[in-house]
Amino acid sequence: MISMYVSRLADTFTDSLISFVTEERGNTLSNRCPKCQTENPDTVKFCGECGTPLGLSENVTEAFTRTLETPKQELATGASFTERYQIIEKLGKGGMGKVYRVLDKKLDEEVALKLLNPEIASDKKTLERFSNELKLARKIVHKNVGRMYEFMEEQGTHFITMEYVPGEDLKSFIKRVGQLPVGKAVSIGKQILDGLEEAHRLGTVHRDLKPSNIMIDKEGNARIMDFGIARSMHTKGMTAKGVIIGTPEYMSPEQAEAKEIDHRSDIYSFGIILYEMLTGQLPFEGDTPLSIALKHKQEVPKEPKDLNPLIPEDLSRLILRCMEKEPQNRYQSATKILADLADVEQGKPTTSRVGQPKPLTSKEITVSFNLKKLWVPSLFVFVAAIVALIIWQTKPQKEIAQAPKIENSIAVITFTNQTGDPSYDYLQDVIPNLLITNLENTGFLYVATWERMFDLLKQMGRNDVAKIDSDLGFELCQREGIEAIVIGSYTKAGDLFVTDAKVLDVETRRLMKSTNSRGDGVDSILKTQIDQLSRDIAQGIGIARKKIAESKLRVAEVATSSLDAYNHFLKGREAFEKHYYDEARQNLERAVEYDPEFAVAYFYLARTSSSLRNIRAQNEAWEKAKLYANKASEKERLWIEARYASVVEKDREKAIRLFQEVSKKYPKEKIFHLALAQFYRQKKLFAETLEELNKALHLDPSYGATLNLLAYTYAEMGDNDRALEYFRNYASVSPGDADPLDSMAELFFKMGRLDDAIAKYKEALEIKPDFGAERWISYIYLIKNNYEEAMKWTDQFISVAPSEGLKAQGYLG
């Protein structure tokens, strides 16, 4: 395979050399040399006698020979060129030509002038392309991009004028300094990206991005130079097909093969530049352009951090992600790299990469199997992506940085049961959740959810905490940047139910507002008390009465009017998130019995029914969720609409758009990043999938659902070892949960480790006897030709099948 690739790439370089001069191949082909008339074998491309290219028309060959024999022009210092430009000094030369610093006597200002090499300037089509591409480059007006001016000709000499930037090119700077300090390299990198962002926005690719094309001016600012060979991303074919333009050390693999390129080729080159700035060396070097191109295509670069231990881990990963071999696995925009570089500067985690995946193969069997979570119809089909991301560390972080203050932010921490009756303990969950929903729906507050508070606890390594008390709440809010905290209690005297709440300043612990509400019976909590408490709390942190009056503070209209319904909803949602689908179904069905217009309960019921393969129940629940979506909070309404668009309307693009909207509006809600990742994964956009999962994992390093989806994503990409690692992480953060064991069993099955698969399925059943794993065990025994065990487990599955949906599905799935 390697020798075939070398031959093909060598042919590409040869064809590109010819194409660059002749615009395109396909002229009158002949094996007779047009110069010396020597007959040559059909398989050769150059004359064996004189070296002239074969297969070209005579006129073209003469032009080719003539340009190579044209003397190279040199402009002396102090001389005039075209009577308009006075030569000040020669700045350098490259593959395209020589560059001079000149005085434009007409404008009385210094500019840079590039004389094109004769072998380039001799071809009319090439000159036409340069002219057209310069028109595109001139549109780029940005402080980090050197301006391109004109493309002109004087007495057969073609030249380009451009902005002169006094200073030093980045290549010379690196040679002089060696490894750049991380801060300096990141600063220069951000400026380069700023320029690329603008160029890419206008549809222009540089195609020869390298340190010698980046000037560092006297103030230390970076400018990208020489967009003269850029190409429009929106206009195919402007540059001759098969032409290789660029510098081998900085070429993307697709560019080296003369394939169609887009802005992601510049991102690859940028990765190499950042690599060189921080390590002082190039990732790939060789004796010939071909050998370097082969390394770009085949070799994995050394970790930058291994060459310079001062490079942060996340920055090292960022560089390698830019340098992914396949364009779809790189960063997809300069904007995304800028965001991650900003995080590196602030010490925050960023997106990252993985190494070469291992193919998914079976050592014992090759069978078809409908896996419930992998969504792959057959073991014959597996996707092996070359490279992607390494996610943020999954181990709990003992220290997290204190965040800047979030304006109008509040957290509802704890409400204690002072009734003396444990049957009211459920309200310790109900009251804060209802308050959070109501306060969040005002649109004036950032409300940290309970889930967010527990995520922060996990980052502190406090997985042992079941309830957050006030002292711990203050610490968490300081770390999150929350301004105010709500703590409270509730009690009961006869039929009178009283709820008390206090709003305190997080920094000073000063009491900002004290309020209480009372009503007849526990149902008054939903009917009147939550709304009154929400108004008083909002006023206590400075929201004007007028705004409060205009806002929607009627919790029954965005949740439910039934406490029983809400209690069953909370239980059903928790069971669903643990994949205990039948338990979730039972609670959610009870919730909508108590409140037939409870939109969010229908939403979870639809998803639960889908997992139980009960399509009729799923469709009914989706229609009810959509029908009553206007009775949900804004956040939940968007969520319902996004899922409905995907499942019912089959409009995945609309769903992605809605989830992008809601995840942007609620960036600290990990569930939305997880949901968006699921959609990206269905589209095989693995880089985007892992990026969203990384965001979710940053919010909660032990988020089981994220670890689970990460594992399945890596399995689908072909990296079984990493998949198994994340399944084990999932199991370690979810003790007593059957799902990670079930997931590991699926992976073992795909790997052909049948006995390990059976063992894990049995472990899952020990934890959750109605988990439904019997059908998979029976199927594996069937494959192993152990029909007695297969029938035994089939009978057991049928006897305990929790729903008609599963019974109808049968053990074969």
- Compute the distance between CA of residue 703 and CA of residue 452 in angstroms, rounded to an integer: 11
Average pLDDT of the segment spanning 340-369: 50
782, pLDDT greater than 80: yes
Helix (H) or strand (E) holding 162: strand 157-163
Confidence (pLDDT) at 320: 94
Nearest to 530 by CA among 556, 492, 503: 556
Give pLDDT tens digits for 360-411.
Answer: 333 333 333 333 343 333 322 222 222 222 222 333 333 434 556 788 888 8
Q: CB neighbours of 550 closer than 8 A, spacing ≥ 6?
A: none
Average pLDDT of the segment spanning 481-491: 88
Distance separating the N- and C-terminal Cα atoms of the chain = 40
Confidence (pLDDT) at 462: 63
18, pLDDT greater than 70: no
169, pLDDT greater than 80: yes
- Compute the distance between CA of residue 689 and CA of residue 704 in angstroms, rounded to an integer: 16
Picking from 423-432, 452-461, 786-795, which range would have the lowest pLDDT averaged per residue?
A: 452-461
Query: 436 or 318: whose pLDDT is higher?
Result: 318
Neighbours of 193 (CB within 10 A): 27
Query: 802 or 460: whose pLDDT is higher?
Result: 460
Average pLDDT of the segment spanning 712-722: 89
| Domain 85-163 annotated CATH 3.40.190.10 | no
Confidence (pLDDT) at 196: 92
Average pLDDT of the segment spanning 542-550: 62
Report the chain's mean pLDDT, rounded to a whole number.
76
b/e string for 706-723 if b means 16 or more Cβ within 10 A? bbbbbbbbbbbbbbbebb
Domains of the chain: which residue ranges?
2-69, 85-163, 167-345, 370-378+702-813, 409-558
Average pLDDT of the segment spanning 573-599: 90
Domain 409-558, CATH: 3.40.50.10070
Picking from 136-145, 305-314, 632-641, which range would have the lowest pLDDT averaged per residue?
A: 136-145
141, pLDDT greater than 60: yes
282, pLDDT greater than 90: yes
Give pLDDT tens digits for 471-481.
Answer: 777 888 887 78
Average pLDDT of the segment spanning 17-40: 45
Confidence (pLDDT) at 10: 42
675, pLDDT greater than 80: yes
15, pLDDT greater than 60: no
Confidence (pLDDT) at 552: 59
Give pLDDT tens digits for 216-264.
Answer: 887 778 989 877 554 544 444 444 444 445 678 898 988 877 777 889 9
Average pLDDT of the segment spanning 638-650: 89
Confidence (pLDDT) at 598: 92
Confidence (pLDDT) at 790: 85
Strand 97-104 with 85-93, pairing: antiparallel
Torsion of CA 45, 47, 48, 51, to 10 degrees: -100
Positions annotated as catalytic residues are 208
Picking from 200-214, 296-310, 510-524, 536-550, which range would have the lowest pLDDT averaged per residue?
A: 536-550
pTM: 0.42
Give pLDDT tens digits for 734-770.
Answer: 878 888 999 999 999 888 899 999 999 999 888 888 7
Place 812 in a pLDDT band, splitting at 50, 70 and 90: very low
Query: 582 or 803: whose pLDDT is higher?
Result: 582
- Compute the distance between CA of residue 349 and CA of residue 697 in angstroms, rounded to an integer: 10
Give pLDDT tens digits for 309-338.
Answer: 888 888 999 999 999 999 999 999 999 999
Helix (H) or strand (E) holding 781: helix 774-783
Confidence (pLDDT) at 172: 86
For residue 234, what are the CA distances in angstroms to 256, 565, 725, 785? 21, 55, 42, 58
Picking from 164-178, 425-439, 468-482, 663-677, which range would have the lowest pLDDT averaged per residue?
A: 468-482
Domain 370-378+702-813, CATH: 1.25.40.10
CATH of 167-345, one of 3.30.230.70, 1.20.1050.10, 3.40.50.620, 1.10.510.10: 1.10.510.10
Confidence (pLDDT) at 25: 32
